[in-house]
Structure 1
Amino acid sequence: MTSQTWFITGASRGIGLELARAALAAGHRVAATSRRHADIVAALGTHEGLLALDLDVTDSSQIAAAVAATQARFGGIDVLVNNAGYGYLGLFEESTEDDVRAQFETNVFGLFAVTRAVLPVMRAQRRGHVFNVSSVGGISGAASGSLYCSTKFAVEGFSISLADEVKGFGIHVTIVGPGYIRTDFLDARSVRFATTSVDDYAALSAELRGFFEDRSHQQAGDPVRLAEAFLQLAAEKAPPLRFSAGSDALEILDTRLASLKQERDAYADLSRSVDGSWA
């Protein structure tokens, strides 16, 4: 396998940390970033191929500095993994405007900003691979996911469009849509729940919160195996535009596809009736 330079956001724990560890073990160079680079060093130690950097994806000056430092150290960036993000789980009417903006600032606008900073490097090289970490929530919504899922739907639409824009420069884009992966995504360090309440939603809100808390650190997906899948995808000459990670992700995808097909067929005649002829 050819050695590559990886730039990974959200690399201090969870999927990002396991991916950084796996990439280093495979002989790649890794610029691993998080809000506190000391957490990365504490987890991975020092390594000739590791560059640990402070990076808040909502801070444009930190993004520019991290990309510049990676170029100075490694000479380029072959693989970008937009992994930084968090889950806001709460019913829409129990969410505030600040909740909405904060979720989009990190999960969408932060991802946009990092991608915008790295693409010129990849274009100059005429090669690169952008991985945007989405979720099963990027193809199917559910109660409590109105904010989180909407950010992931945005990431998927962005990624599909971006892939068409940069393919002429030898740059690939792959959406990775994990199912429930056994990380701290659902514990207090990561997930955020709605802090306001509406009486009509009280029972549903409590049920959903209990559902997620019961599954924290009990998820079936293995982050180590997911990291191995990233490495395999990055080695592909023709990588997929979208990769669903986990059997649960496949089941959710299949259910969504079947639902779309059922509704498509049921209303096909009405759909065609919208067509008109030019006068």
Structure 2
Amino acid sequence: MFRWLSRLFRSVSRPSEGSLPSTQATNGGLTDLFKKNEYRPSLDAGGDDGLVTLFRQCASSHVHDWLSNIPERIAFVDVETTGLSSSDRVVSIGLIHLQTRSLQENLLDASIQHLIFDPEKKSAPKAEEVHGYDDWILRHQDRFVEHADKLRSLIDSSDLLVAHNVMFDLQFINREFSRCGMPDVATPTYCTMQRYRGLGVGGSSSLDNVCRKLGLSRLGNTHGALEDAWLVMQVYLWLHDCSYYASLPFSVCPDASVMNFKEPPARPEGAIPRRRKRAMQIAEAHQTNSGRN
């Protein structure tokens, strides 16, 4: 594991010279983010709720002035949805609750949640292409309400909620909490998309485009909620002059799988049957289980 991580750190791609304006020009005299450091990493992963600690040792001394500009607890979030309208639902969520002061000790201490839900409706075709889950898989997953308390606790305990186009993610999260009888999220928000636009770089401000300019990329074609939240974390750290951003590829995450995924039953032949009301499904499942006892 130590050798595998070491190779990752040596092979991290960095932005080409001139691909972005210097941070000195755009961020008020901050130091050059692209100065190469040699890292000697090791890994220790464990604990409940996806608690991940990645140990970092930096060979060159680095004064973390940027730490004074960011809060102590940040929640980086991304949601995948059934579509874009107000009636659409959350399909999956990735949330990284980062203790930023651990970075001062060359540590990354974060609690991770990667969850999938039954949105109780079919995804639009384009949305399904993005998140990669068809309706047969989704209809056999947990509902959002079953994990709402845990997610709400992580968000409420954060000083800042960060996303790329944060109002998009927040409106979907608030609608899901509303369905659970919970009030809207009151945590202050930060939008990496708006901040990037404020640099005056020009071109697309999509997460994919910003990551390309930073030498970052996703592992595949589909948009995983946790992977996107991880990329948002990297972009945020770059925007705040933290040189660690390029040293944290998503591949170092010890377990990026969906935590609550339920394997669906065998897919029926032909067209997938239409959804039935959730109450009917639960009643039938209860009757089946009772017959087995």
TM-score bracket relative to the smaller structure? under 0.3
TM-score (norm 1): 0.27
The structure whose RCO (Cα within 8 Å, separation 6+) is larger is: 2
> Which structure has the highest helix share of the two?
1
TM-score (norm 2): 0.26
